[in-house]
Amino acid sequence: GILSIICILSFFGNISLWIVIIKTKDLHKESNYLTLCLSFADILVSMGMPITCLTIVYGEWIFDDVICQVLGFVNMVTFIGSVTSLGVISMNRYIKICKPYKYSVVYTKRNIFLMIAGVWILSSALATPPLFGWGVYAYLPNQSFCFCDWATSVSYTFFMVGTCFGGPCTVMTVCYVLILRKLRASSRKSVQFRAKEIRITALFLIVIFAFVISWFPFCIAMFMSVFCKEYLSRHFDMFTLLLGYANSCYNPFIYGVLNLRVKQGYKTVFGKCIPKSI
């Protein structure tokens, strides 16, 4: 029930975000293209949720092992892609605020699409090892979905945590610390610019915070599955998965509420469906 609701909200919420940004010329900006990169990962996650729903209903994996391998790989790619996208967005914010003279040179339309392609190529490469024996993609009964069975390879587990989670999180932390220092030191003459950038920076910080809160319990469960699996229960495992899945439906609402231009875009594109009081 809950997973079905998350699936519907995530899929249609992110599709609507794509429609709004594509149809609204004022939103054709570098940061919004990177936002769509993150949203694409959420769409892929939502497309895998119905299979998890079916396995919950049947209580077992009812599909071929090849499908499990493919789904496990896609799940890993989307997870890495989400974290990496947040790291790239953080760097975009850093250069925009701290190195504005470089922004137009670095963030050309061509470079933006190269960055987005790089996110997915890197994510796919890092998710490949379990297909060739370093780690294993398998059906995880406690969570009713296919993902990497972390207990099969401790070395791959630490590699993934350090490279795919620790790396981007370090980039995000450093970028936003430097951004906040820059904003605090900015002159009073740039009050309007400062207010605008604080608002946008706060928006992306909320997106990052939501991601960390949603997936951190899943990471805890991941480590527990390696070192103290006997303390894990199906209820806890399912809770961490549902919390992680729920992150896929947050962002369209965050952008719709906190980004004034996106909010106006929603009203313009879906005006007849939105009450005037909103």
Residue 195 above 90 pLDDT? no
For the chain, the straight-line distance linking the first and the last C-alpha, in angstroms and rounded, comes to: 28
Cα(108)–Cα(105) distance, rounded to whole angstroms? Answer: 6
**pLDDT tens digits, one per residue of 62-106:** 888 999 999 999 999 999 999 999 999 999 989 988 888 899 899
- Crossing angle of helices 30-58 and 65-98, in 10° steps, is 150
What is the predicted pLDDT for the residue at 220? 83
Q: Give the separation between CA 134 and CA 129, rounded to whole angstroms.
A: 5
pLDDT score for 190? 62
The tokens describing 58, both together, are 């049947």
pLDDT in tens, 4-53: 899 999 999 999 999 999 988 888 888 889 989 999 999 999 998 999 88
Name, in order, each residue with C-beta under 8 angstroms of 190's C-beta and a sequence gap of 6 or more.
none
pLDDT at 196 over 80: no
What separation in angstroms does the CA of 175 have from each of 66, 168, 191, 203?
40, 10, 21, 15
CATH of the domain at 109: 1.20.1070.10
Number of domains in the chain: 1
Residue 228 sits in which domain range? 2-273
Q: What distance in Å separates the CA atoms of residue 219 and residue 24, rounded to the nearest whole number?
A: 37
Element of type H or E holding 35: helix 30-58
Using a pLDDT cut of 70, give the percent of the chain over it: 93
Is 278 inside a domain boundary?
A: no
CA dihedral 67, 71, 72, 74 (to 10 degrees): 140
Closest CA to 51 of 172, 116, 139: 139
The mean pLDDT of 246-273, rounded to a whole number, is 82
Domain presence at residue 239: yes
Alpha-carbon radius of gyration of the chain: 20
Q: Is residue 187 domain-resident?
A: yes
pLDDT at 180 (0 to 100): 84
pLDDT of residue 161: 84
Asked if residue 208 lies in contact with residue 86, where contact means CB atoms within 8 angstroms, the answer is yes
Q: Is the CB of residue 38 less than 8 Å from the CB of residue 89? A: yes
The residue with tokens 């060739």 is 132
* Alpha carbon distance 210, 255 (integer Å): 12
Sequence-distant (≥ 6) Cβ neighbours of residue 120 within 8 angstroms: 77, 81
Identity of residue 252:
P
In a domain, 89, yes or no: yes
Is position 38 within any domain? yes
* Interval 42-72: pLDDT, tens: 999 999 899 988 898 888 888 889 999 999 9
Residue owning tokens 């995530």:
10
Question: Environment class of residue 168 by beta-carbon count within 10 Å: exposed (0-12), middle (13-18) or buried (19+)?
Answer: buried
pLDDT at 277 over 60: no
